[in-house]
Every structure is written in structure tokens, then in C-alpha cells.
Chain A
């Protein structure tokens, strides 16, 4: 059973006969499939984070949010996501069971990964980038990093843009966007990348905490030049509000 099918069922995107067949298949199993609840949790989280497509969002509101019990689930999820987002980010290594015989290099990587998260929170319009050779987890491509704050000018007015030089083998540029005070309580965020030529591209939000939102841009999508990132706060109901100002950076 694939999550996509479960989501299509919950959003009532399947024809009536397939909906019924789906239920029959679930019922025919020895035990009620636990995966259904997990996929439903993900669907609700995606809705709250503004990660559904416009059609899915519409179906969610029209076809899923149709009972009090489901509204209650959405509210509980919203409260949890907000609570979790207010805490400090937790590196994956921190959650792991302690491993016997972990090498010093692995411990060092875990340490750096925690430091990296802390630095991203503290920095303001400062390039902290470059390649973090020591911090990169083994087997994963290196990435350059930037921490940016919101600027209310525009490029024509000479707004300061942070500069970054992508190392030749960098796979991606990770950018931490410091949230302005008033925007810190949104349910989720959407980020848009604008090139010098005015081309706009949506970016996937790779993480967030109480004070920042992180995006990762594949290096292949970046040429030399100036870029602006625009941030949108997404409310639990799906309404979006542009956070005024932009985050500027220049790739050298």
C-alpha cells in the first residue's frame, strides 16, 4: 500500500468504485493497516506546512476537513508542529542510540553538525559559508552555507547582498533565513527564489526552528549573479502572507 494511494483516498481523489475497493482491501487484511494513520499524519502535516499542491489543498478543505474529529486532529497536529518548531533543532545523531565503538571522526562530525545549527541561528547577514569539510557527514556531498537576514531595500537601491563562492565540488547551497519577530509564529513558510532576470522558482523548505527557515538550493541551479529570496508565511488555513523585504545574495 503506497502513501500516495492513501492520500488520494483521504482527499477523495479516487473514483467511487476505487474508494470502495480501497476500503475492502484494508478490511481484508489480517489487521487494520497501521500505515493509514501514518500517511494521514503526514498529509495533515503537509497541509499545515503549505506543502500540498493547490489541488490537494482544495481537496483537503473540501473533502477531508469534513468532520469535527478530523478538525480536532488538524488542531492537535498544528499545536505539536508549532511546539516542536519552537525548540532547538536536534541533529539526527543526537536522537540515535549510543553506538559502541563510534570513531572520533564520527563524533566530530556529530559535534560539527550541532555547531552548524547553532551558528545558523546566531548569525545575521554574515557569510559563514565555505565548505565545511570536517562537518560533512560521510558519503554525502559537501555544501556551502549562508545565513541571511531580511533586507527592506531592493537591489536597485543598493541593498547589501551577502556573497558566496561555491566550491567546484559543492552539491548545494544551504541558506538559513533569519525570521523577523512578527513572522516567527506562522504554521509554515514558502520560499521563492528570484533571479536577476526576474525568473521565479519555488524552493523546498528543508527545515525550520523558532528563529529561522532553511532552504537548500542545488548548485546546478545557481549561476554567477544576484539572487533574492522571498518569504511567505502560510497560516493553518492555507492563507499566505508575503513577509515584506527580501533576502539577497550574490554567487561569485
Chain B
């Protein structure tokens, strides 16, 4: 996409460049969330592809009254394309599944080995929080456990969950970096 095409696409989002920039950022974040929810690899990359395709249509003169909804439609198509491609590689995929069922899942053990130092780099408070959060596994006991934890921390259950999700995300990124030799 040329800079001129991109500018025309931004103009389709909003007349004002500042508002267009804000909408673009929001649209990109939503697409990342959507692809993540759909289990697509590299959600930011898939979001870029979606916007590129939408921009080509818009610049090409397609009537697009709602750019966000239009992008969602394209994102759904991209998911289908990726799934088709993944299913073509189903042989490898089935092996993954078999491995997951295996009692001695070497991959999980490998991740755990990488996870340990990552976990150790979290603050003592965050380590305790993760351990405590994961202690009561399910059902009403879990909900009650989280409510008590949030109460003890003088925060809301929603904020507590967000904090745990952020910590898990930090751990995942750290493991991936270690895995890539970073």
C-alpha cells in the first residue's frame, strides 16, 4: 500500500486526521483481539493484512459505509483461510494432539523449565498472587476464593483478573523469548 492509498483509507475512517488516527489504532487493537480469540497465529500480523485488504477495496472505490464492520468481515475470511491452511497440515496437527494426550508431554516440561526463571523474575508479591490465584481450581469455590483475594487486596475481582492475565502474558512472552534464545 502506498502512502497515498493509506491516507485515503485514513480519510475513510474520519475526516479529521487526529480522529482517524485514534480510530485506526482502536480498529487495529480490536482486530488483534479478534484474531487472538480465534486462535490465529501472529494476531498483529493478521490485523495488518486485514487493514491492507480493506484499504485496497476502499481506495479502489468500493462503497464502504462502515469500515469497522467491513474489516470484521475480512477478518472472518482471513480466519477461514488460515484454518484451511492449518487443516491441510493436519498430520502435524494430529501429532500435536497426540503429544498433548501423552502423559509425559515433553513440550510442557520444556516450557516449564523455561518458565521457572521467568517466574522467579516476577516480584515476590506477583509470585504469591499467581500461586494464591491458581490454588482453588473450580466452581463456586473458585469464585469465592477470588472474591476473598480481591477483598484482601482491596481491589475488585475484575481488576484482580486483569492483573493475573497481565502476569500470565508477561510469563508467556518471557518463555517465548527464552525459547528463541533471547
Q: Mark B98-140, 1 if CB is under 8 A from A, else 0.
A: 0011110101110110011001000001001111101111110
Q: Are A91 and B136 in contact (CB under 8 A)?
A: no
With contact pairs A66-B39, A95-B149 given, residues A78 and B137 touching in the complex (Cβ less than 8 Å): no
- Asked whether, in the complex, the Cβ of B175 is within 8 Å of the Cβ of A66, the reply is no
Contact residues of B between 54 and 76, Cβ < 8 Å to A: 68-69, 72, 76
Cross-chain contact A206 with B134 (CB below 8 angstroms): no
Q: Decide if A75 touches B105 in the complex (CB within 8 Å).
A: yes
Which residue of A45, A49, A68, A97 has the most chain B CB atoms within 10 A of its CB atom? A68
Shortest A223–chain B CB gap in Å is 23
**Binary contact track B28-47/A, C-beta < 8 Å → 1, others 0:** 01101110111111000000
Interface contact B171-A31, CB-CB below 8 Å: no
A92 and B37 form a contact (CB under 8 A): no
CB proximity of A19 to chain B, nearest CB, Å: 10
Check if A34 sits within 8 Å of B162, measured CB to CB. Answer: yes
A31 near B132 with CB under 8 A, answer no
Q: Which residue of B lies closest to A209 (CB)?
A: B135
State whether B29 touches A83 (Cβ < 8 A).
no
Q: Which chain B residue lies CB-closest to A186?
A: B103
Interfacial chain B residues near A67, Cβ < 8 Å: 38-41, 82-83, 86
**Which DSSP category, helix, strand, loop or mixed, fits chain A's interface?**
helix
Whether a CB of chain B sits under 8 angstroms from the CB of A26 is yes
B141 to chain A: which residues have CB within 8 Å? 204, 206, 216
Expressed in whole angstroms, the minimum distance between the Cβ of B35 and any Cβ of chain A is 9
State in angstroms the CA–CA spacing of A38 and B40 once bound together.
17
CA distance A81 to B129 in the complex (A): 13
Contacts of A31 in B (CB 8 A): 26, 29-30
User: Chain B residues with Cβ under 8 A from A237's Cβ?
Assistant: 97, 100-102
* Cβ-based interface call for B14 (8 A): no
Q: Is the CB of A41 within 8 A of B136?
A: no
CA distance A205 to B138 in the complex (A): 8
> What are the residues of chain B within 8 A of A70 when measuring CB–CB?
39
B53 at interface (Cβ–Cβ under 8 A)?
no
Instruction: Select A239's contact among B97, B101, B119, beta carbons within 8 Å.
Output: B101
Bound Cα distance from A69 to B100, whole angstroms: 14
Q: Which residues of A contact B39 (CB under 8 A)?
A: 64, 66-67, 69-70, 73
Q: Is the beta-carbon distance between B86 and A92 smaller than 8 angstroms?
A: no
| With A51-B137, A68-B41: A95-B34 Cβ-Cβ less than 8 Å | no
Sample 9 A-B pairs with CB under 8 A, ordered by A number: A46-B137, A51-B137, A79-B109, A79-B111, A80-B168, A83-B115, A84-B134, A91-B132, A94-B128
Q: Which 9 A-B pairs have the closest CB atoms?
A: A237-B101, A32-B33, A96-B152, A70-B39, A67-B39, A51-B138, A79-B112, A79-B111, A90-B132
Add 19 more A-B contacts to A84-B134, A95-B125 (CB < 8 A). Answer: A26-B30, A26-B33, A27-B69, A34-B165, A38-B161, A38-B162, A40-B37, A41-B168, A46-B138, A66-B83, A68-B41, A69-B40, A75-B108, A80-B134, A83-B112, A96-B152, A97-B153, A205-B138, A235-B103
A residues with a Cβ closer than 8 A to B are 10, 23-24, 26-27, 30-38, 40-41, 45-46, 49, 51, 61, 64-71, 73-85, 87-97, 188, 204-209, 216, 235-239
